[in-house]
Structure 1
Amino acid sequence: MSQSIGATSAGRGRSGPSGRTRILLSVPAAEAGAFFPPDTRRALAALGEVREIEPKELMTPESFRAAAEGVQVLVTAWGFPQLDAARLAAAPDLRFVMHAASSLHALVGDDFWATGIPVSQAGAAMAPAVAELSLTFTLSLLRRTHRLDHALRSGASWQAAREVERAREIGGAVIGVVGASRTGRRYIEACRALGADVMVYDPYVAETDPLGPFCVTLPELLASSDVVALHAPATDETRGLIGAAEIAAIRDGGLFVNTARPSIVDMDALYDAVAPGRIDAALDVFDAEPLPGGDRWRALPNVLLTPHLAGATADSRRRAGRIVVDEVRRHLRGEPLVHALSRADLERMG
């Protein structure tokens, strides 16, 4: 259902009947309260006349046209229809798009970029959360928490559980990070703070970058790391980056962490290395989501699994909502956007 925030009627033209900016807020109902708790909703309502409609209610041309009439600022999230030529024509007053989530690939294409309308996103809000789960995975794998838990839960004796391979500490461990993304950088900072030695593979890191001295080739990283953690975006360039040969290069007893995207990895080759116990893994992302009940990954005792929730903390959602409000405010004031993206930016992002 749709509702208005701080408005009582629709009006026409570039603003509502009060002359205020018209903002269409369209995020899934299940997430709306997380992104926009009462204080954040009040802050957004202070910037204009806000109408809230779920993405699923905007799928038909007629429903989209009715909702977009006179809208100048569009706030989107997952499930919002692509802003193609037809929808853009139905929103002639649109001046700014603010995406409350991260990836923009399903939202904007050639038609949108041709308009020159600025677009921003709140993906930065998720970086601390994803980095934290990646760190949690790393610590859990090093301490063999996943194996110990499985042993006790599956009925192994106390002594048998204690005979799981001896744990490692993160201090002094070699952590190989594939992708110096904003999430990767947060993860690197956390690992180094705990005493880990970090190496990085990212061909886009400049020599002058603080991470420059820590950059190595991918083969060197894979062969030398105790833990390999993926933080690269899902792009054409990174698709299959970690294939069968790369997985084979990971040392026996190595640990593999993926909170990024499954397309970066040959998941069949990874399974073939994990199933016999040559390496252990922690995964938040999968080729098939939701992960089927009988999926092969669920049965392995040396794998730690979570259901693609790395970035979905209560804190990250609140941060994202605040970023939305701040960016809309900057747009309305004519100030530079902090999280704006260009077409070139998107080509290197997931």
Structure 2
Amino acid sequence: MTDDEGVAATAQPVSTERVRILLSVPTLEQEAMFPAETRAALADLGEVVEHQPGELLDPSRFRAALAGVDIAVTAWGFPTLGAGRLADAPELRFVMHAASSIRTLTCDDFWAAGIPVSQAGAAMAPAVAELSLAFTMALLRRTQRTDHALRGGGDWSTARSIPRAREIRGSRIGVIGASRTGREYIRLVTALGAEVLVHDPYLPEGDPLRAAQRDLHVLLRECEVLALHAPATAETRGMLGAAEFALIRDGALVVNTARAELLDADALYEEVASGRLDAALDVFEVEPLADRWRALPNVLVTPHLGGATVESRARAGRIVVDEIRRFLDGAPLQYALTRADLERMG
């Protein structure tokens, strides 16, 4: 269930004399990932050509843009690298994905071609973990309820009559998914005195988190806060439905900054709308956000921006440059992925 663990990969040193690097990242994100210093470092590695991902959906423009390209820096919206695309990029030797999930980027043909691929998802882990922490503390302090009461025109005494707030110290938090993000979240909440339970069947032997490992149903019964940090895979999609939510104690809190597919949105909505559970959500079954969540006084919502901080985007750019440098030097890649990795990744 660890959705973002990479594997090492090596390559023979590559001459940089004629290396051509395609930079295909949406403009706004490109500016955030590649400020002047990082952009200069990328240019030091080879000739950089820029094309927006959307324009490369056109086969003829893709063919022209990839002519002579050795390394492609991809991101959201880049075309899937199937047989036809790869035939139009005969010199492509390495793909560096500046975002996280590569599911829409790769396919059977890509893996058969044996082109190494790496990604910069590690850059987002601290940012998503911080939002998850912020959600946790806001729900514990009933911030969403008091804010809604005051903004909705309720009187002062009504806003003060909500269930009493809790502190994070001593709270029992159940974490589903010991991913990089999950581990960073665990580090943050334990530093503040929370007790953590973990559900992740892929924890290796000797992992310190194994002492906190619980069966899913046991974790749901015991936790006061449920935080989701697992990937959306065949194994995890829909893992939380009406039966699972029924196991969670009254007054518990649900935090999802991972994937909407992990849970039955209708089942969660019923529990939150009834007032039995409170929730904080950064991901939704339909995006842009469906209206039904907006009116609930006990839900905190954000528009799927958990990983999008100034710092995370800058980290991603540095990872891109470092991974390309490693590839050119023939050094092990830090964040390389294989087809097998996708079975446990979002």
User: What is the rounded CA distance, in whole Å, between the counterparts of 2:147 and 2:17 in structure 1?
Assistant: 60
Indicate the residue corresponding to 2:108 in structure 1.
Answer: 110
User: What is the rounded CA distance, in whole Å, between the counterparts of 1:180 and 1:328 in structure 2?
Assistant: 28
| Structure 1 residue 224: Cα displacement | 0.6
Indicate the residue corresponding to 1:323 in structure 2.
Answer: 319
Number of aligned pairs?
Answer: 333
| Structure 1 residue 20: Cα displacement | 2.6
So what's the TM-score if we normalise by structure 1? 0.94
| Structure 1 residue 99: Cα displacement | 0.1
User: What is the rounded CA distance, in whole Å, between the counterparts of 1:146 and 1:98 in structure 2?
Assistant: 39
User: What is the rounded CA distance, in whole Å, between the counterparts of 1:197 and 1:219 in structure 2?
Assistant: 17
User: What is the rounded CA distance, in whole Å, between the counterparts of 2:217 and 2:133 in structure 1?
Assistant: 23
Indicate the residue corresponding to 2:85 in structure 1.
Answer: 87
Indicate the residue corresponding to 2:331 in structure 1.
Answer: 335
| Structure 1 residue 25: Cα displacement | 0.4
| Structure 1 residue 30: Cα displacement | 2.2
User: What is the rounded CA distance, in whole Å, between the counterparts of 1:90 and 1:27 in structure 2?
Assistant: 20
Q: Pick one of 141, 144, 157 that aligns with 1:143.
A: 141
Indicate the residue corresponding to 2:48 in structure 1.
Answer: 50
Give the partner amino acid of 1:86: G
| Structure 1 residue 44: Cα displacement | 0.2
So what's the TM-score if we normalise by structure 2? 0.95
Unaligned 5+ residue runs, structure 2?
A: 1-13
State, as a whole percentage, how many aligned pairs show the same letter: 67
CA contact (8 A) 1:230 1:258 kept: yes
Q: Pick one of 95, 118, 121 that aligns with 1:123.
A: 121
Indicate the residue corresponding to 1:174 in structure 2.
Answer: 172
Indicate the residue corresponding to 1:225 in structure 2.
Answer: 223
Indicate the residue corresponding to 1:62 in structure 2.
Answer: 60
User: Greater RCO between the two (CA within 8 Å, min separation 6)?
Assistant: 2
- Residues 173-199 of structure 1 show CA distances to partners (whole Å, capped at 9, x for unaligned) of 000000111100000010100000000
User: What is the rounded CA distance, in whole Å, between the counterparts of 1:19 and 1:237 in structure 2?
Assistant: 45
Indicate the residue corresponding to 2:181 in structure 1.
Answer: 183
Q: Pick one of 268, 272, 275 that aligns with 1:274.
A: 272
Matches within 5 A, 1:153-302: 153-292=151-290, 295-302=291-298
- Residues 135-189 of structure 1 show CA distances to partners (whole Å, capped at 9, x for unaligned) of 0000000000111111111111112111111100000000000011110000001
| Structure 1 residue 33: Cα displacement | 0.2
- Residues 26-85 of structure 1 show CA distances to partners (whole Å, capped at 9, x for unaligned) of 011121101111111000000000001001111111111111111000000000000000
- Residues 208-254 of structure 1 show CA distances to partners (whole Å, capped at 9, x for unaligned) of 11101000000111011010000000111101001110011110000
| Structure 1 residue 207: Cα displacement | 3.6
CA contact (8 A) 1:207 1:213 kept: no
